């Protein structure tokens, strides 16, 4: 019999707030975190907007000297990880340390540092390449640093699966606990790619919104006038814990991680297909032992792309059948933008809080709902909602899909 996994800690760095209380308040209040890019001058690009992290003080978590040795995505991941750890109230003995691990992934990793180092190299030669360049850019170094800082001696690695990274990290971590390889896991995703190459690459694909004159309403999932996603940045991290372990120490339990599904479209590197997500959702519900009519809420991938939103709507209808019309669905990306590898992390945080507080955040900016997206997307206002089971979806380039189910405790 598989062991039960519960969520006992949450941490976040995001465009809508750098702590759980602020971020949740803004998400429920329908506050957008999107604005004009300040990280660099975007004038020459067709996209000038993004969901930037604001007023983040890395020295709350690291010394200024240590921080200079790491890319920004590592800063965000460490910050969210430490927040979640403190929120959980865990204190590890040396014996417990070998049963605690970490999986915090990133979709792209140290893009800022790679760009900056290349510029420095071209201008001043190889002697200017820092010895911290490689460890400051590697994706698994978020897990590495957190393992050292928190004395986590169990499994430590990173998952990389594009925009499904955060969800896959959490799902894999839960499996390690279920199968007895760990009792505690720190898990989530982090990303910081608001840079010339990050914005330029997605802009070249025509994937980004160009609604530059109205940033706060640019991300509009399910709206007929949606024109692409808005890039975001940040990190979302959960503390997963074996149920008896959490109960024994009197931990606050936000919810139970009950289902994990993953699949591949085997279709196209960027264009989605509804069969893959449908199978991922079905696998998560099957793993949880839950029927389609027992789910009340879905935090969708919902990126605000013309193809993606319609495809996810179809996948949900295929997976849930007639029960799809009774679901309350939302996309918090309408407020945060799309955090790529961190999306599944922060959305797992929001899904957990939706279950814990019994409220669905809104999907803002639905001014004219697309007739082909014909479900209940909790348009523009949060809603008190009895949620026994919630689902969160993430999908990524390469046709990779993930779904997770959280149950009220």
Contact present, 176 and 128 (Cβ < 8 Å): no
Q: What is the DSSP string of 9-58?
A: EEEEEBTTBSSHHHHHHHHHTT----EE--SS--TTSS--EEB---S--G
Distance CA 379, CA 382 (A): 8
Bridge partners (DSSP) listed for residue 5: 242, 257
75 catalytic residue (yes or no) = no
Q: What are phi and psi of 254, to 5 degrees?
A: -75, -35
Catalytic residue among 168, 301, 373, 378: 301
Catalytic residue among 48, 112, 163, 274: 163
Distance CA 173, CA 183 (A): 10
Catalytic residue among 287, 338, 373, 378: 338
Chain-centre distance for alpha carbon 277: 17
Instruction: Compute, in degrees rounded to 10, the torsion defined by CA atoms 49, 50, 51, 55.
Output: -80
Distance CA 30, CA 28 (A): 5
Contact present, 306 and 312 (Cβ < 8 Å): no
Contact present, 344 and 392 (Cβ < 8 Å): yes
Distance CA 369, CA 129 (A): 51
> Whose structure tokens read 């330029």?
200
Tokens for 312, please give them: 């996810």
Distance CA 204, CA 365 (A): 25
Q: What is the DSSP letter of 4?
A: P
Instruction: Tell which residue, 63, 392, 33, 88, has the closest CA to residue 237.
Output: 88
287 catalytic residue (yes or no) = no
Residues with Cβ within 8 Å of residue 50, at least 6 apart in sequence: 34, 35, 37, 39, 194, 199, 230, 231, 232, 233, 337
Q: What are phi and psi of 149, to 5 degrees?
A: -65, -35
Q: Are strands 359-360 and 328-330 parallel, antiparallel or unpaired?
A: unpaired
> Whose structure tokens read 């929120």?
87
338 catalytic residue (yes or no) = yes
Active site residues: 163, 301, 338
């Amino acid at each position: 019999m598989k062991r039960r996994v519960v969520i006992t800690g949450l941490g976040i760095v995001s465009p809508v707030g750098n702590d759980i209380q602020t971020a949740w308040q803004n998400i429920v209040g329908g506050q957008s975190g999107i604005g004009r890019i300040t990280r660099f001058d975007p004038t020459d690009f067709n996209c000038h907007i993004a969901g930037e992290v604001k007023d983040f003080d890395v020295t709350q978590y690291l010394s200024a000297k240590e921080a200079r040795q790491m890319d920004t995505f590592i800063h965000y991941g460490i910050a969210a990880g430490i927040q979640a750890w403190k929120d959980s109230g865990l204190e590890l003995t040396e014996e417990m340390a070998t049963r605690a691990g970490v999986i915090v992934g990133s979709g792209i990793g140290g893009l800022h540092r790679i760009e900056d180092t290349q510029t420095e190299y071209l201008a001043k030669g190889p002697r200017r390449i820092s010895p911290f360049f490689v460890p400051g850019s590697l994706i698994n170094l978020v897990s590495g640093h957190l393992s050292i800082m928190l004395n986590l001696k169990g499994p430590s690695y990173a998952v990389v699966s594009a925009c499904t990274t955060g969800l896959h990290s959490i799902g894999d971590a839960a499996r390690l606990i279920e199968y007895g390889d760990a009792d505690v896991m720190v898990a989530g995703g982090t990303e910081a790619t608001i840079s010339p190459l990050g914005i330029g690459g997605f802009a070249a694909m025509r994937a980004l919104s160009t609604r530059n004159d109205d940033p706060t309403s640019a991300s509009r999932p399910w709206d007929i006038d949606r024109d692409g996603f808005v890039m975001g940045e940040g990190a979302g991290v959960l503390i997963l814990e074996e149920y008896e372990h959490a109960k024994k120490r009197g931990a606050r339990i936000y919810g139970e991680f009950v289902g994990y599904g993953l699949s591949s479209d085997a279709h196209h590197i960027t264009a989605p297909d509804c069969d893959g997500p449908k199978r991922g959702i079905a696998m998560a519900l099957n793993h949880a032992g839950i029927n389609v009519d027992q789910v009340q809420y879905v935090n969708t991938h919902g990126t605000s792309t013309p193809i993606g939103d319609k495809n996810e709507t179809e996948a949900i209808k295929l997976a849930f059948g007639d029960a799809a019309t009774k679901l309350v669905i939302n996309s918090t990306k309408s407020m945060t933008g799309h955090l790529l590898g961190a999306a599944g992390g922060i959305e797992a945080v929001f899904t957990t809080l939706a279950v814990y507080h019994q409220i669905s955040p809104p999907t803002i900016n639905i001014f004219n709902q697309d007739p082909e997206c014909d479900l209940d997307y909790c348009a523009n206002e949060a809603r008190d909602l009895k949620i026994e089971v919630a689902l969160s979806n993430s999908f990524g380039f390469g046709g990779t899909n993930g779904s997770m189910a959280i149950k009220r405790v």
